[in-house]
Chains A and B, each alone.
Chain A
Amino acid sequence: MSKSATMPQADVAVAVAHPEDDARRPSVLLLLAREPSACFALVTVVAVLLAGLFAPWLAPGDPYGGDLANMLKPPDTTDLLGTDGQGRDMITRLLYGLRTTLFMGFTSVIFGCGIGGVIGFAAAYYTRVSGILMRLMDVLLSFPAILFGLAIAAIFGPGLTSVIIALSIASVPLMARVVRGAAIVVLQQDYVESARSLGMSDARLILKHLLPNSLSSIFVFVTLRFGQVILLGAALSFIGLGAQPPTAELGAMASEGRDFLFFAPHVSVLPSLLIFIVVLAFNVLGDALRDALDPKLHK
């Protein structure tokens, strides 16, 4: 036998144990199910999303119709979680509040991180515009999110839309920085040069090579940012620039309850607890998803 024909076999032998075209790659969902904390987070996130989505059907009462005779009732058998300062059922308020808060969080993260992501990739890939784009981001970065909230509320009037716009703008420079950093690392890899040497379009290169490989740090940031945005939104509502009464929003509800904190703590504590659970679940799920999406960590 010739030398070159025999030699490669040692190299191949390692893999002979699986002689079939393998269908052994588990789905992302299955990988998530293996991790108890991820499982818990996934269930929580799904439950929270469904609750928010179907709030009008799930809610036992009217979120806006007050009943002052029954205000600030502690949890009991008729109102499972009690009533708030206007005598509105807390379960109903929480469901509607969740709906508003999730909507606010998602839209501002989608807009903010979407625009920030595009700017970040552009700055990493087109070095010519990198300087000017990132200096612009630095300018945005120098204003705190609350200040954007104030400015936008002054222009459009306080309300949910203003909060969403403000939080989107505040997310853009952060996302752009994270994405640019991640993309620059990926751009130095040989497989990007190899992709270039094939003469593929910039769009394909960015979508097929740059994006999937910078995803892990982006993923962590987006889930973290989602939690931050909800908290910032709550803060803006707290100072009266966010969702206006009688709109139910978890942050606004927490702030409304502060007057009765000593004799009816549930009015503040329940929405705060819900914010805590939502933010935690999204962060844990984000981490787990990042690991599950990385083929290197599959076993």
Chain B
Amino acid sequence: MTKPLLELKGIKKLYPVRKGLIIQKQIGTVRAVDGVSFRLMPGETLSVVGESGCGKSTTARLAMRLIEPSEGTIHYDGQDITHAPRAELRRLRREMQIIFQDPYASLNPRMTVEEIIAEPMVVHNVGDNASRRDRVRELLRLVDLAPYHASRYPHEFSGGQRQRIGIARALSVSPRLIVCDEPVSALDVSIQAQIINLLKDLQQEFGLTYLFISHGLAVVKHVSDRVAVMYLGQVVETADKATLYANPRHPYTQALLAAAPEPDPTRRSAGRTLGGDIPSPLNPPSGCRFHTRCPLAQPRCSAEIPALREIGAGHLAACHFAETVPDFTRFRDGYGIRPRLQARLDLYARKRDAVASAIQ
């Protein structure tokens, strides 16, 4: 069995909330990330999915040690890097790169594209000026930009092009792991597909490992090998892609899937979406953290914390009723087409037939 490239064990990030001007009293703790564990195998893509504020970006930053974890361990390539000193982190920084969500904020507006892409090489003393110059042009071609773009400034590019520059920067020092922090959520849908395809192509070409952060399951369906769904700082379900999409066992995963836009009107459900907001991580609900919004909540859910347990091969879910939760497809088909939609579709069909017969 191959070693995981990255392994997080029981990672927690707790932010103390203090009050008082001089004598500060701790009045609470924001549990941003509360015991997250996962393994990332070399060459695979693990997607971490969840709504805003669930701690997915924090998890990604913890994995890269851009933020110090409060508890838990991080292993990179079999080596414990939880407390790695600065010098060693520097070496690791070369192997882990990050692509940011907002392509408008993630490129320094005062630097040319050439300087931006070459910067990781400069910081890590890779090559000399001439070889960096060549490498920048090679990278630009690789991300479907042109060499003459090198002398321009970021503001001269569109969002999609900027994201390509961000990707070229991440690739410049040949990393093994790339954290993609919602790399497409700030882009147009048409550009999203291009960037996702680019990321996939690059992964194949260079054997990259991706930790892919996203707030919707629809986006990651194409890129992921495995998916971990997070809710309020915890992983609630994780499985390989096929299993998760076909047979989600946690009600939250099902709700996320139901919330994805469905282009086919006949398959749209009657708008069964979750009500309310994500509860405050300052004071998470008792028992199952999802019980306040779960459509299937039982008394047991508010009393007992469900463990993340294996319910199938490589399929983990944190729900007391994971086995008995209604099957997702039935759960959704139960609503069928709303009567008014059906009426409209019938109307269209009649009109279409009428036009067709008139032509004949």
Contacts and interface: CB of A to CB of B under 8 A. Distances in A.
A32 to B, nearest CB: 18
Contacts of B198: 4, 8
B120 A15 contact: no
A189 B154 CA distance: 14
Interface of A: 3-4, 7-9, 11-12, 14-16, 18-23, 25, 189-191, 193-200, 204, 208-209, 212-213, 295-296, 298
Please name the 5 residue pairs, one residue from A and one from B, whose CB atoms are nearest each other, closest first.
A199-B93, A8-B144, A190-B106, A4-B197, A212-B110
B109 A295 contact: yes
B119 interface: yes
A296 B157 CA distance: 11
Interface string B157-198: 010110010100100000000000000000000010110011
Contacts of A200: 119, 123
Nearest to A25: B151
Contact of A21 (B64, B102, B148): B148
23 contacts: A4-B198, A4-B200, A8-B144, A8-B194, A16-B146, A21-B150, A22-B148, A22-B151, A23-B151, A189-B106, A190-B101, A193-B66, A195-B108, A197-B96, A197-B97, A198-B120, A198-B124, A199-B92, A199-B123, A212-B110, A213-B108, A213-B110, A295-B109
Nearest to B66: A197
Interface in B91-108: 92-94, 96-98, 100-102, 105-108
B89 interface: yes
A26 to B, nearest CB: 13
Interface of B: 64, 66, 89-90, 92-94, 96-98, 100-102, 105-111, 119-120, 123-124, 144-153, 155, 158, 160-161, 164, 166, 169, 191, 193-194, 197-198, 200-201
Given A197-B93, A213-B110, A15 B105 contact: no
A70 B12 CA distance: 86
A198 B109 contact: no
Contact of A190 (B92, B105, B150, B153): B105
A212 B154 CA distance: 15
Contacts, number: 104
Contacts of B148: 15, 18-22
A212 B153 CA distance: 14
The B contact surface, by secondary structure, is helix
Contacts of A15: 146, 148-149
Given A190-B100, A204-B123, A213 B109 contact: yes
Contacts of A296: 109, 153, 155
B106 A7 contact: no
Contacts of A25: 151
B108 A191 contact: yes
Contacts of A19: 148
A7 B158 CA distance: 15
B171 to A, nearest CB: 13
Given A8-B144, A12-B144, A19-B148, A197 B105 contact: no
Contacts of A212: 108, 110-111
B89 A199 contact: yes
Contact of B119 (A16, A20, A22, A198): A198
A25 B147 CA distance: 16
B186 to A, nearest CB: 11
A3 B191 CA distance: 13
A209 B108 contact: yes
Contacts of A4: 194, 197-198, 200-201
B191 A11 contact: yes
A199 B155 contact: no
A298 B108 CA distance: 16
A191 B106 contact: yes
A298 B96 CA distance: 35
Nearest to A215: B110
A133 to B, nearest CB: 17
B337 to A, nearest CB: 31
Nearest to A204: B123
B194 A191 contact: no
A16 B145 CA distance: 10
Given A12-B145, A197-B97, A190 B201 contact: no
Given A11-B194, A199-B123, 12 more contacts: A7-B197, A11-B144, A11-B161, A12-B146, A14-B161, A21-B148, A21-B151, A190-B102, A197-B97, A197-B98, A208-B108, A212-B111
Contacts of A20: 148
A189 B105 contact: yes
Nearest to B104: A190
B158 A191 contact: no
Contacts of A198: 93, 119-120, 123-124
A188 B158 CA distance: 22
Given A22-B148, A191-B108, A199 B90 contact: yes
Contact of A191 (B107, B145, B161, B164): B107
B52 to A, nearest CB: 17
A148 B200 CA distance: 64
Contacts of A197: 64, 66, 93, 96-98
B78 to A, nearest CB: 21
A14 B158 contact: yes
A19 B146 CA distance: 9
A7 B93 contact: no
Among A7, A9, A14: residue with most chain B CB under 10 A: A7
